[in-house]
Amino acid sequence: MANTKDSYHIITMDTKESSIPNLPMKEIPGDYGVPFLGAIKDRYDFHYNQGADEFFRSRMEKYDSTIFRTNVPPGPFNARTFMSSPSFNGGYKVCGFLGTTDPKHTTLKGLFLSTLTRLHDKFIPIFTTSITQMFTSLEKELFEKGTSYFNPMSDNLSFEFLFRLFCEGKNPVDTSVGTNGPKIVDKWVFLQLAPLISLGLKFVPNFLEDLVLHTFPLPYFLVKGDHQKLYNAFYNSMKDILDEAEKLGVKREEACHNFIFLAGFNSYGGMKVFFPSLIKWIGTSGPSLHTRLVKEIRTAVKEAGGVTLSAIDKMPLVKSVVYETLRMDPPVPFQTVKARKNIIVSNHEASFLIKKDELIFGYQPLATKDSKVFKNAEEFNPDRFVGYGEKLLKYVYWSNGKETDNPTVNDKQCPGKDLIVLLGRLLVVEFFMRYDTFEIEFGKLLLGSKVTFKSLTKATS
């Protein structure tokens, strides 16, 4: 909504630490325009006239501030819907939408963290099993067609890994979802994120798309049947986790919906953007980077006698490449939160007061490309976090918190933060254990990058 009560403070968070008492207090610049019409105009700018990046960047330059007032999606008549309908999650308000002061948040996030700790030794073997099939499919399609579209194969890898991890090693193909798991999750996620998405279809007028996608919440019944199959597959395959949830006083049904959200919305949704982005940046960096990665990876693996956690920890370039990808293309670009009390936020130049109950919207990509923190911030630098550069990791906020922090039950940092980073490193390691170099072409999708392989050169040593 375009009135003061329902509008947002935008925080494009600067990442260089400041001492709030030494910064002058200022009024938050910006405005919401004419009631109702201003919100509609800003929504059209966001989706059609400018795009998200230019929308925020132009206002940041206009107000000479990274903290300012403006209207952001979804706007009229959907402004309060920054949480998807509970019907998408079995009628429950899942952990991702609970405040940190809610006792159930503590219980559910604690369950997530303890489960990931318990399953830690399964990460590498399950991922290796899943990625082997992906490479087979990649090579087969490249041989038959001359090119190979990476994204659907990456989606299959991600979904199979997550399902096997949480569902006691079971293959999702042998459940009620069959081979349709990624497509079901894609539809389920899309219906919830539609207010922030533009399809970019040339044959559909903007006003029509805006009316359908951005004006009212899309109904759950469009995915109800498929979502039930997804629920049945998880519920019937994750007995150990649900048993543990019951011991903590959480109903099996509620725990199942929470793990579907963790696996499907949070983890799969993030990996859907992250893995193609990782291949895109490595691919566009060319053979020189590939050669360096090959040498580092194969040397460490040979010394360790296999792909192990200790071997991966001896690959600083691999780690830097993964973190630089997360800096360049944060998998979750938007954050929305309501202030529980009056708070003071600061950027490099000033401090600003945000009042209780006001809504705050954050745009991550501008924060992670802060030129006052990162040299040549708009450029991909594979060595950025090697050696002394590792100190900059505290300014990488892709997980809804500092990369140097560990998620706890008392915060909203992603519980699977370390898992996602490990999987990114594993993807790079497994790739360059098999191939010396590759060529790609890339474009844009609704969420993330479209990546197509043009060539693969198998390992020669």
Distance CA 432, CA 70 (A): 45
> Which value, in Å, is the radius of gyration of the alpha carbons in the chain?
22
Distance CA 436, CA 443 (A): 24
Q: Which residues, 6+ apart, have CB-to-CB distance to 225 below 8 Å?
A: none
Q: Which tens digits make up the pLDDT trace of 89-146?
A: 999 999 999 999 999 999 999 999 999 999 999 999 999 999 999 999 999 999 999 9
Distance CA 357, CA 348 (A): 25
Query: What average pLDDT does the structure give for the chain?
Result: 92
Three-state secondary structure call for residue 311: helix
pLDDT at 2: 32
Per-residue pLDDT, averaged over 61-78, amounts to 86
pLDDT at 78: 64
Of 97, 23, 117, nearest in space to 351 by CA = 23
Of all residues in the chain, the percent with pLDDT exceeding 90 is: 82
**Is pLDDT of 17 > 60?**
no
Per-residue pLDDT, averaged over 33-42, amounts to 90
- Ordered by start, the domain boundaries in the chain are 1-81+331-367, 82-330+368-458
Q: Which tens digits make up the pLDDT trace of 214-266?
A: 888 899 999 999 999 999 999 999 999 999 999 999 999 999 999 999 999 99
- CATH tag for 82-330+368-458 (out of 1.20.120.420, 1.10.630.10, 1.10.10.10, 3.40.640.10): 1.10.630.10
pTM of the model: 0.93
Three-state secondary structure call for residue 155: helix
**Is pLDDT of 1 > 80?**
no
Whether residue 95 is annotated as binding a ligand: the answer is: no
pLDDT band at 21 (very low <50, low <70, confident <90, very high): low
Burial level of 232, CB count in 10 A (0-12/13-18/19+)? middle
What are the backbone dihedrals phi and psi of residue 438, each rounded to the nearest 5 degrees, phi first?
A: -160, 165
Structure tokens at 125: 């073997």
pLDDT at 81: 52
